[in-house]
Each structure stands twice: as C-alpha cells, then as structure tokens.
Amino acid sequence: MTTLTNAVVLVTGANGGLGVHFVEQALARGAAKVYATARTPRTWEDPRVTPLRLDVTDPASIAEVLAQTGDTTVLINNAGIEIFGRLIDTTPEALRGIYETNVFGPIALVQAYAPTLAGHGGGAIINVHSALSWFSIPGAYSSTKSAFWGATNSLRIELAGQGTHVLGAHLGYTDTPMIEHVDAPKGDPADVVANIYAALEAGEHEALADETARGAHASLSAPIAERYAALGFPV
C-alpha cells in the first residue's frame, strides 16, 4: 500500500487533461512536492509544484531531470501521443515516433528512476495504459498501449524485490485535449485520476478507472470474433 502523504511525485505529460489532475490531486492527498514535467512546461501557482522540461524520448533530457529530482518517491508515466490513420498506412517514422513516446520513453524512465525509488524504500510507479490495452482499434495507438501493459507486468515482477509498487492504470475515452475530436461518451478526467490514486493507496496492481476499462477487462476471455463484433469491427 502506497500513501501519497508527504510523497514527492513526478508526473510526465503534466500539462494535459489527466496530467493536471495528477498534479492537483496528489497535492490534495498530501504530497509534499510534485515535479510537473512536459516538453513545454507550464507555470503553476502552487509553490509545491516544480515545472521541469522533459522529453521522454530523449535520454539526455531524462538524465538532466533525474539529476534534479533525486527525492522522487512516486513516478507517474502519463505522457502519451496519438497519431491518426490506419496502422497499415502509417509510415515507419511515424510508427517509431509513437512507440518512442508511449512505450520506450516510459520504460526508460522506469529504468532511470528505479534506483532512486529503491533508495527511498521502494516507492511507487503508475503507468497509464488504456482500455485499448485489451481491445484494439484501427491505428497504432492501441498497439502501443498493449505493449506498455506487457512491459508493466514484467517491471512489476522485476521491481517487487526492491519494494516498488507498480500500478497499471486503464481507462476509456476521457475528456482530454488528445481525444477532443472523438465523437463518443467521455469520462471526467478528475474522476479517472481519483480512481487511479485510490487504487494506488489501496495497494492494487491494476486500476480499472472507469466502466469502459472494467468492461474491456471482463471481456478478455470471450472469443475474438464475439468481442469485436459487439463493436461492429470485422475480423
């Protein structure tokens, strides 16, 4: 079980819809400090928030931020991007770009911060996945979330010995700028983040942060054709 009381939290993608709530709700739950990182960091009025520039795809940027944040006890891998169009039509360059941000960058951050967390008694990591970790749609995004989910499951086992709690967070469409173009019901990012933090503090390994994530998880044992036919996708 991980408490946020007096925690020092580092949030990637802190400017976005979920990121802002990760910052604000960590403080509301008693965090002593939050490092709010982004490629172009914004200003924050709360003196407990330290904005830092971080490009999760750049090893030098990760090293620079790590050198300034050695007191971190909770790492939140929230940064992510989406590209649009069919996977089969996506250029190799664009495909590598989304995997660098959504998969390889977060793994690199875990590798970088694991010794720091161990030095503080273990700490915790939240990796933000998606209901699309378990249900793919056309395009590259869902495949990156499946890959990241698989990596989280391995990292959880590898870091258990040092006492680091690894939480995988799954959610459906949420009302954030990244998916403002999507014409579908969307959850409230404040509720999603509250559910993720509640799962962390309860010691859970996965946070099913909304009804969509719970439904996707529950359907995993159903036949592929049945699962995809329910949403009108041919297989």
Catalytic residue among 35, 99, 113, 141: 141
- Dihedral sign, Cα of residue 149, residue 150, residue 151, residue 152: positive
Q: Is 141 a catalytic residue?
A: yes
DSSP, res 28:
H
Strand 74-77: give its sheet, edge to edge: 49-53, 33-38, 8-11, 74-77, 124-128, 165-170, 206-208
Contacts of 226 (CB under 8 A, 6+ apart): none
Tokens matching residue 94:
């664009």
What residues act catalytically? Answer: 141
